[in-house]
Amino acid sequence: MTSNAPVVILLGPPGAGKGTQADALVERWCLVHVSTGDILRAAVAEGTPLGLEAKRHMDAGELVPDEVVIGIARERLARDDVQTGGVLLDGFPRTIAQAEALAQALGELGMRPPVVVNLEVDDDVVVRRLSTRRMCRGCGAIFNLQTDGLDVGDRCPKCGGEVYQRDDDKAEAIRERLRVYYAQTAPLIGFYEERGLLLSVAAAGSVEEVSGRTIEAVAQGLGG
Ligand code: AP5
């Protein structure tokens, strides 16, 4: 079986805006949005065995073990919607082992090599964005205290769900996530650069400015 459906990866440090930019890309190319963070948070909310294991790592700002996340991603990629419409990967891969497993899975599924967009942003911007991020418990929408004015306990303007702050958006966990990012995820920039798959986008500036640059990069990567 082969599929010509696009595969797009959003790389970047925590808080770079991967989840925020995913919306624009998914809409533009009708991609299936696969966020390993969202899948893991759903498992935590449901209290499944996977969720219980993941929560420990996530709250501490650590990565969930490769074998767990690779299993989740492989299963999701093999589904018909991805094969037909293509996929936007947000938060996966995050280690070299995950990138290698992804390349193998795409090969086995007969899918195209990915277009990889790296959202580049300074650490001080990351810390500011994450410490002021708020999310909806109902629909998973992403907000920001500074730009959207929503705070913990407010109702989500999209679905009426409860607005909350992620446990891993507390100062200590943010510091650890940045440390883990540089140690384990940043090497993926070189990995994809060597394979001629990497496109870099400056991710400072407004959401709309970054969306414009990100869409342009993906269009270039997909060949127009
Ligand atoms: P995950 O949910 O993937 O977290 P992350 O990669 O750390 O990314 P974030 O969700 O924190 O940030 P983002 O880049 O999506 O930014 P956002 O758009 O929200 O993973 C969570 C945890 O799950 C991990 O720590 C790990 O434990 C585990 N996990 C997940 N995947 C894994 C994997 N593959 N392997 C192992 N473990 C895994 O934006 C942030 C804020 O900034 C928001 O408030 C937003 O409104 C605001 N904002 C965004 N863009 C702008 C802009 N241009 N201007 C102003 N504000 C902006």
Task: Give CA separation, 43 vs 36, 51, 59, 134, 174, in Å.
Answer: 11, 4, 14, 19, 21
Pick from 142, 156, 164, 179 the residue to mutate for probing ligand 1's pocket: most ligand atoms within 8 Å of its CB: 142
Q: Which atom of ligand 1 is nearest to the CA of 35?
A: 3
pLDDT digits (tens, 9 = 90+) for 175-191: 999 999 999 999 999 99
Label residue 1 by pLDDT band (50, 70, 90). low
Which pLDDT belongs to residue 161?
Answer: 97
Contact 102, 93 (CB under 8 A): yes
Label residue 2 by pLDDT band (50, 70, 90). confident
pLDDT digits (tens, 9 = 90+) for 82-97: 999 999 999 999 999 9
Q: Which atom of ligand 1 is nearest to the CA of 95?
A: 35
Extended beta strands in 68-164, E state: 87-90, 115-120, 133-136, 142-144, 163-164
Q: Which helix (H) or strand (E) holds 32?
A: strand 32-35
35: three-class secondary structure by DSSP:
strand
Q: Which of 129, 133, 134, 213 is catalytic?
A: 133
Is 126 close to ligand 1, i.e. is its CB under 6 Å away? no
Output the pTM of the full model.
Answer: 0.95
Contact 117, 192 (CB under 8 A): no
What is the average pLDDT across 105-131?
A: 96
What is the average pLDDT across 109-132?
A: 96
Q: Which atom of ligand 1 is nearest to the CA of 143?
A: 46
User: b/e per residue, 41-63, with b = 16+ CB within 10 A?
Assistant: bebbeeeeebbebbbebbeebbb
What is the average pLDDT across 133-141?
A: 95
Is 55 close to ligand 1, i.e. is its CB under 6 Å away? no
What is the average pLDDT across 140-166?
A: 96
